[in-house]
Amino acid sequence: MLKTALQGQLEYIEVSNSVSEAKIALQGAHIFHFKVKGKKPLLWLSDTALFKTGKAIRGGIPICWPWFGAHNSNKLLPNHGFARTFLWEHIETKSISEAETKVRLRLKSSEDSLSLWPYRFELTLDISLGTELRLSLITKNLDTQAFSITNALHSYLRVQDISQTYIKGLNNKPYYNKVDNSFNNIQAGKLRFTQEVDRVYQDINTPLQVQDGHGIITVKTEGSETVVIWNPAEALSSKMADLSDYQTMVCVESANALEDAPTIQANESHCLTTVLSHEEL
């Protein structure tokens, strides 16, 4: 089942099959709700999220593209690129079976995009909805020269209590700590949250598990070896008007960042995928 609706200023599509449901804003191709029927929502959405034209939605899975974080040479350009605030085209919604639905959205280069980033491209997001949520972001280079990107599927995951949450699968992995701008850190054991965490983990090639005592969220990544973990803690979240209740969220983002920045030749493509599933205890 597919229907369209408005939330605030933004149009979204609502998809439902026999096992799951989702809401996807056309601005940013932004999935802001996903739920397996009979379970709690998998994705976190801020109670004070803004659904306004040109503003990113706080929660769900924003798309950071064609750069992650601040632009490396021009700090006046939008943080995390422009894909998350541009209007995408809904190409199709297809029922694969009663329990699986696929949605495809597309963004092409335009005068507006070329004013921010001087390359021609086609960006496709394929979303598979079933007992798990799978997103594949495909960048196709339509220019005459190669370009490099950094990007992320900035997944906000819902947890019961961040103080009781930990992440398995990061032991002995190197990471950049954005909070104190330190490199060459090594994770020891499980990652727990006692303060602000903003880290770029590298050499990630196996699934991660987010555990909060009430359930387990598994995060699988394809097309990168980088995962970004973020929770703002109280001090930072209190300065962010659109971020409520940091205690019930953690971002685990499949990403290409730092040295993991693919170069895409003319007429070639790159695919970044995240697969999210959860088990309630």
* Active-site annotation, residues: 154, 253
Structure tokens that stand for 38 in this block: 């009979």
> What does the alpha-carbon distance between residue 125 and residue 158 come to, in Å, rounded to a whole number?
22
> What does the alpha-carbon distance between residue 152 and residue 105 come to, in Å, rounded to a whole number?
17
Q: Give the residue among 57, 80, 108 at the shortest CA–CA distance from 256.
A: 80
> What does the alpha-carbon distance between residue 198 and residue 177 come to, in Å, rounded to a whole number?
6
Q: What are phi and psi of 276, to 5 degrees?
A: -120, 135
Q: Is the CB of residue 182 less than 8 Å from the CB of residue 192?
A: no
